[in-house]
Structure 1
Amino acid sequence: MTDVDAKLAELEARIAALEGPAPADRGERGFVEYGGSVDFGGPVDWTIRYSATAIRTLPAHDRVEVLAALGHPVRQALVEALLDGPRTGSELAEAAGLTSQGQLYHHVRALISAKVIEQHGRGSYRIPAPKLVPTLIIMTAAADIADVLR
């Protein structure tokens, strides 16, 4: 065994110790990974990886609240408007075609409660940077499931 082979074997052993046993050895079914690198008013890089079997143990209520918040056409319009950066309530109402502040705040409250958007200053809203890539991925995944991307 050469010096390079010994160093490679040592590195492989160290990586295996850090990562633990392979998924098949843990009785898992693999993993789900998503990520992205976008620039919507500033660069955002995001990558996350979950065990495929552990995903079912994540709190269902929180997942359902996010999906319900994003599952309304008006809220989709609000999120799409916010992709270009922070917007005032008036700008959001116009982008979504809403005629009353009550309608706007009903939908904004649902998105804030689900942590998809946040208030940014007085009367202004934005998508928090750490939520940007996951929000885009949910929107893309929904289009993929609906066969829009094919």
Structure 2
Amino acid sequence: MMDDGFMSSTPDPQRDTNSSGQQVGTEERLAAVEARVEALENAASEPSEANGFWVVDTLHKQRDQLPEGSVIFGGDLDAAGGHYSYQWQRPTEVLTDANQWADSFERLTALAHPVRGAILRRLLQSSAQVSDLIAEELVTSTSTAYHHLNALSQAGWIKKSGSGTYEIAPTRVIPLLTIISASEDH
């Protein structure tokens, strides 16, 4: 066991021996592994606070600190060679404003093309140059690449470095994945 209570994944040569110092048989080791897997599966299926509405519960506890009616999203992940932690909160009255919707739909329109989706999915792995996108057959030509990259850039989804490399703007990684998650069939 490690200090934090999690089991180490480092093999322990003494673990595979019985009290007389002989190696434990394959069947006994397999039975032990099956028992550990079953315990892990059972623990994962038990209801817990993490499986409930923990975000909503937290919002209810902090209701006096937030505007009436709020939408909040956030995330913490490693992607495209970096670590991203992000959260965003908006009151409902801001989200339902006509100007806000017009601006948001312009940004969403830039996403609504399969080639742009493929480019963004690729950029989540690592930054890329136009030549990379062509070599990986995400686009068919330089002009097609620039057409889609310009649309994504103008909408604020990606940025270009001085060396001609494109990447997802750091403040857009979590929002992009939130949009993908929110569009799942719930």
Fold match by TM threshold 0.5: yes
Partners of 2:182 and 2:111 in 1: CA distance: 12
Superposition CA RMSD, Å: 2.0
- Judged with a 3 Å threshold, the aligned counterparts in structure 2 of structure 1 residues 112 and 96 are, in CA distance, closer, same or farther, namely farther
Tell me the CA shift for residue 65 of structure 1. 1.6
Structure with max Cα Rg = 2
Q: Which runs of 5+ in 2 are unaligned?
A: 1-62
Q: Which runs of 5+ in 1 are unaligned?
A: 1-14, 24-29
Deviations 1:75-104 (A, max 9, x none): 000000000121111112334532211111
Letter in 2 for 1:33: I
**Is 1:133 matched with 2:171?**
no
TM-score, structure 2 as length reference: 0.60
Q: Give the match for residue 65 of structure 1.
A: 106
TM-score, structure 1 as length reference: 0.73
Partners of 1:32 and 1:94 in 2: CA distance: 40
Q: Give the match for residue 52 of structure 1.
A: 92
Q: Give the match for residue 10 of structure 1.
A: none
Which of 25, 31, 34 is the matching residue for 2:70? 31
Partners of 2:170 and 2:152 in 1: CA distance: 15
Q: Give the match for residue 120 of structure 2.
A: 79
Tell me the CA shift for residue 52 of structure 1. 1.7
Letter in 2 for 1:32: V
Of the two structures, which has the highest relative contact order with CA contacts closer than 8 Å and spacing of 6 or more?
1
Partners of 1:121 and 1:80 in 2: CA distance: 22
Deviations 1:40-66 (A, max 9, x none): 112111111111222112533321121
Q: How many residues align?
A: 122
